[in-house]
Structure 1
């Protein structure tokens, strides 16, 4: 098997820190200081990875990208800069770069570009390939395809990944995708919401505690790091973690060791850490709200998820996916979207991203009751469900609603789903989905908390047990 080659078009100071580790992995390092030398190395050595320093005085990054041959095979091109910008990142990706890094390459990030490493041949002469995850992420827009390509590339490695994006873009789904595509897929996947617990409880949740460590610690409890041993730990909303606890987390990431709260024994753990944030974490670093050293430790591989409003026809693909999903769940035959509903979906800005679309589709399926989904079925904020609404309920769906078990929506004597029952089901479903959080449920339903409270009081009077 011939040696792998990596080409650096950069100053030597960025190559020196990673040269020895690449050599140990059997990877040959090439260097070029200008465009002509870079193009010559591409022709002769055919490297599998190429790093280009933006701002190198002897070479214009974007002119080099434009001069490269169109047929680049499987070459991965990483453009990096000390002070990059979003505009430069977009420009580099459009010019053909695989990824854009806002910091110079370090050991972990460079090795992550070779996740399989040099592998011995299998008995049949084949090569090791990463497993494809069972989880399917829907999307064909270039913005999401780039993220998926990077995720597949780094999934088999042990490198930490920082997944950022607006709320509702699917950060946890990408984390699970990374786990399922890794060698750890048969080991535990453990998630912790760093925003849900105060500092002292989060510390115990992460590292565990000994009996008597604090009031209420009536028995020894292993932490999430121990539970995830050999697998993957997701730190959801890492930017909400108290800065005092960040120092303890940094030690675990550096040393691979934890100390239970109140304990004296150091415990070794083998855990791959993934983290998510919906905030500008670099701004948090500048404001001294997040430790810079922890940020660098977590941001080995950055995955930036695009908002739904920037994903074009992915909106309709996701809408159709959720439509079919909830039609199966509630026993309806999908009838698709009316043209005006499809137009509305494409024009809406989606501040809540994919999560908002999913919730809206569940609501629309329930209100359309098997007929075509129209804008009125979205029941947007400020709108009320008209009492004289004529609903298209196919006969097959009417019969199913009448005869199905507890998971089907009840129908009246004329075979039409009653508005009161539909409303009740929708409200109870939203409470289940939000784990009983009435504020979140009311936001999901597009009604006020007071209205939701009044409805629940009515159901109690009818004999329904509600906590």
Structure 2
């Protein structure tokens, strides 16, 4: 087998001597195993090594290691089995998989199984040292979080709960996935239309992670021009460009030990994506104008986009290798028009909060049954954010204790919603004939009812007259497509 320790003339950031990580090296190649152990021991780590997967599994069950460095392809016990056993035995262990046959599928599978990172063979001694340095940062962050969390609870009580409101199956599924991934260091990619709550989910994940004592650093990739975005992310050295009169750390360094939230990721240029990929691979940050490696960072990445990420890859807007690195766990947030049962809950919450914020005196107004029905009929192109703004508008002008009717809801000029109102949904045309026909009829009925109730201002009798059908038929259709049957019975004549 090729010696993994190739010559490397680039400078490396080496962990401090005496960091004292307890490391298990598992590889059936003796030369590689002993080479890794030698390098790590010289850096002050306590190293145990074995060439047998079965022995490694027994070791991780009996002893507590800070880090396990394991070859992915071994026989008869594979590195994946060792990885799963190590994570199951100690949830805080850091596992790095080595592989001489790296592939997207195997790497993603390892990361999802709990691996902290993977190391393609062959690799240099300095590359190994950089990776272990990042792992040392991660181990320290975990220890700090355990020590700090109790004091935060004592000072702030139970803490302010995150307002992730919803009972719809699609939204609950997204929240449950966020809860599961929060406890890990896996990279998360959140997709969904503007206003669906992507940043709220990112905050939720960070707050429930072991990095919660450190910073969540947001960066909107669409809000800054390319050169400014690069300097904000990576920092710069004095004299790097006109106006750089001092050294400045970038947001990657600011987020060290915590989480970096990359909003609107697909707006980042390809050259900058390539530079970000290097940080994801080795954790080393080089500031603008610097000729050396300035810092080793341990950052968790959460990214978000209002595009379909896979389509962005196909369109050349997102590097495929960066996509797979950042989308270890994908979370897709549904648009509000597909969460009709959540609208009453959200509207009542926003009304109460807006009333307390702007008015505070007198009994708050109430949303009538017709108003709830009317809200459920709207397309909500801006999703939850648009609903929040509309309800805040209503709270500002409403009278205390008075009901809020459909006519009190501001209605703006409507534009087609992509994939919903602009012609046939693309997915329907790929279905079997009878299935496509049924789905097309359902699509027509839902869109017709949405426009009908808007024209009627939420008045069900008027809507029935406009449609030329009786109210019973209208109620049946509304209930069929997710509008609340219990509030429809109270519609005004």
Q: Sort the TM-score into its range (normalised by shorter chain).
A: 0.5 to 0.7
Match of 1:153 in 2: 180
Displacement after TM superposition at 1:292 (Å): 0.3
Distance 1:150 1:196, change over 3 A: same
Question: Equivalences for 1:58-137 in 2 at 5 Å?
Answer: 106-111=109-114, 134-137=161-164
Question: Equivalences for 1:294-313 in 2 at 5 Å?
Answer: 294-313=322-341
- In 2, the alpha carbon distance for the partners of 1:280 and 1:133 equals 32
Q: Deviations over 1:203-259 (max 9, x none)?
A: 101011111101121222111111111111100010111011000101111111111
- In 2, the alpha carbon distance for the partners of 1:112 and 1:149 equals 21
| Aligned pair partner of 2:385 in 333, 355, 378 | 355
Structure 2 residue runs without a partner (length 5+): 1-57, 62-73, 90-104, 117-141, 143-157, 415-493
| Pair 1:281-2:309 in alignment | yes
Match of 1:378 in 2: 409
- In 1, the alpha carbon distance for the partners of 2:269 and 2:207 equals 30
Distance 1:258 1:145, change over 3 A: same
Structure 1 residue runs without a partner (length 5+): 5-11, 28-101, 114-118, 120-130, 384-467
Displacement after TM superposition at 1:331 (Å): 1.8
Residue aligned with 1:313, SS: helix
Contact conserved, 1:193 with 1:236, CA < 8 A, in 2? yes
Match of 1:228 in 2: 255
- In 2, the alpha carbon distance for the partners of 1:133 and 1:160 equals 25
Question: TM-score if structure 1 supplies the norm length?
Answer: 0.57
| Pair 1:293-2:321 in alignment | yes
Distance 1:345 1:224, change over 3 A: same
| Pair 1:262-2:289 in alignment | yes
- In 2, the alpha carbon distance for the partners of 1:180 and 1:237 equals 21
Contact conserved, 1:133 with 1:180, CA < 8 A, in 2? no
Displacement after TM superposition at 1:351 (Å): 1.2
Displacement after TM superposition at 1:290 (Å): 1.1
| Aligned pair partner of 1:143 in 170, 177, 185 | 170
Q: RMSD value over aligned CA atoms? A: 3.2
- In 2, the alpha carbon distance for the partners of 1:373 and 1:189 equals 39
- In 2, the alpha carbon distance for the partners of 1:265 and 1:251 equals 14
- In 1, the alpha carbon distance for the partners of 2:313 and 2:81 equals 29
Question: Which consecutive segments of 4 or more residues in structure 1 shift more than 6 A?
Answer: none
Displacement after TM superposition at 1:136 (Å): 2.9
Question: TM-score if structure 2 supplies the norm length?
Answer: 0.54
| Pair 1:212-2:274 in alignment | no
- In 1, the alpha carbon distance for the partners of 2:164 and 2:225 equals 33
Displacement after TM superposition at 1:108 (Å): 1.0
What is the number of residues matched between the two proteins? Answer: 288
- In 1, the alpha carbon distance for the partners of 2:108 and 2:256 equals 28
- In 2, the alpha carbon distance for the partners of 1:350 and 1:16 equals 50
- In 2, the alpha carbon distance for the partners of 1:16 and 1:278 equals 39
